[in-house]
Copies of this chain bind each other. A is one copy, B any other.
C-alpha cells in the first residue's frame, strides 16, 4: 500500500470577480468532489486575476507539480476572456481556431443569430489541443497535454466534468467516514492524536480531521477519517467512536 501511486491535480481559478469578492467560487468544491471519485487528489488551488502573467505562472507551477492541471474561467467571447491565450503562452504554442469547435459553435448559433467573430473566439485553442464536450451550452472545454481548460460558470463546468468522468487515470479514491460528538475539540485533542498515531502505525495512510462548530448554544465537533483504504478507515473510525463513547459524551454516527 505504501508504494501505491497517488494521482494529483491542481486547479487554477481565473477571475477578477472571485478576487474582488463579487462572486463566491463554487468550482473548487465541485472539482474536489469530482476528483475524489476519479481517485485523484486535489493538491493545490490558486486563484488569480484576469492577467496573462498571473495565469502563466500559476498554470506552469501546477502543471509541473501535479499529474493534472485544471483551470476554470475566462473562456468566453469577451475582452476579459484571456485564458486560452495565456495558456498557449505558458505552453509555448500558438493559438488556432479548432475546426471541430467551429462546427459546434456554428451549429449552436445557427438559431441564435449566427456565428459572429466574437463568438468564433470561443473556438480558439492552444495549437494541438483536443476538445472537452460541453453538455450544457455551446463552447467546448479544451484539453492540451495535462491541462484541462473549463468554464467559469459552475453548471457548465459540471457538464464538462461529467463528459470527462472515467477518462482520467487515477488511483484508489480516498474514502471518508464522519462521526460527530458533542464535545469541545480541545477536550479530546490528545485522544484524536493517539487514535491517528495508532492507526498510522502499520504504515497505513489514515488522517483524522477535526471540525468544531457552535450550534444552538452547544459546542460540538465532527471528526472525519480519510484513507484510500476503506478497511483502514473503518477500523480507525470504530476505534475513534469507542474512545469517544468512553468519555461519556454523546456520539453521533455520520456526523452532526
Listed by A's residue number, 10 A-B pairs whose Cβ atoms lie within 8 Å are A13-B45, A20-B36, A44-B46, A50-B207, A77-B186, A79-B189, A80-B210, A113-B187, A116-B189, A121-B189
Q: Are B48 and A47 in contact (CB under 8 A)?
A: no
The docked-state distance in angstroms from the alpha carbon of A26 to that of B24 is 8
How big is the A interface, by class?
A: 35 or more
The docked-state distance in angstroms from the alpha carbon of A81 to that of B193 is 11
The docked-state distance in angstroms from the alpha carbon of A49 to that of B174 is 14
Looking at A13, A19, A31, A176, the one whose CB has the most chain B CB atoms below 10 A away is A19
Partner of A186, one of B36, B45, B48, B118: B118
**A85 at interface by CB-CB < 8 Å:** no
- Interface 1/0 per residue, A221-239 and B, CB below 8 Å: 0001010000000000000
Chain A contacts with B in 15-35, Cβ cutoff 8 A: 16-26, 28-35
Q: Are A189 and B24 in contact (CB under 8 A)?
A: no
Add 14 more A-B contacts to A18-B28, A153-B213 (CB < 8 A).
A17-B209, A19-B32, A20-B176, A21-B33, A25-B25, A45-B46, A76-B185, A76-B212, A79-B208, A80-B208, A112-B184, A113-B187, A116-B187, A118-B186
Q: Is the interface of A mostly helix, strand, loop or mixed?
A: mixed
- Per assembly, the copies of the chain total 2
Q: Are A174 and B44 in contact (CB under 8 A)?
A: no
Q: Which residues in B have their C-beta under 8 angstroms from that of A20?
A: 32, 36, 42, 174, 176, 226
The docked-state distance in angstroms from the alpha carbon of A54 to that of B45 is 11
Q: Which residues in B have their C-beta under 8 angstroms from that of A78?
A: 185-186, 189, 192-193, 210
**A119 at interface by CB-CB < 8 Å:** yes
Minimal beta-carbon separation of A104 from chain B (angstroms): 14
Asked if A49 meets B43 with Cβ closer than 8 Å, knowing A25-B29, A189-B78, A208-B80, the reply is yes
Q: Are B44 and A47 in contact (CB under 8 A)?
A: yes
Minimal beta-carbon separation of A99 from chain B (angstroms): 20
Asked if A116 meets B186 with Cβ closer than 8 Å, knowing A43-B19, A212-B153, the reply is yes
Q: Are A29 and B36 in contact (CB under 8 A)?
A: no
Partner of A41, one of B13, B19, B76, B118: B19
Q: Which B-chain residue is minimally distant from A11 (CB atoms)?
A: B47
Chain A contacts with B in 162-202, Cβ cutoff 8 A: 174, 176, 184-187, 189-190, 192-193, 196
Minimal beta-carbon separation of A103 from chain B (angstroms): 17
Query: Top 10 A-B pairs ranked by shortest CB distance?
Result: A21-B32, A118-B189, A21-B33, A45-B47, A77-B186, A79-B193, A78-B210, A119-B186, A19-B42, A78-B189
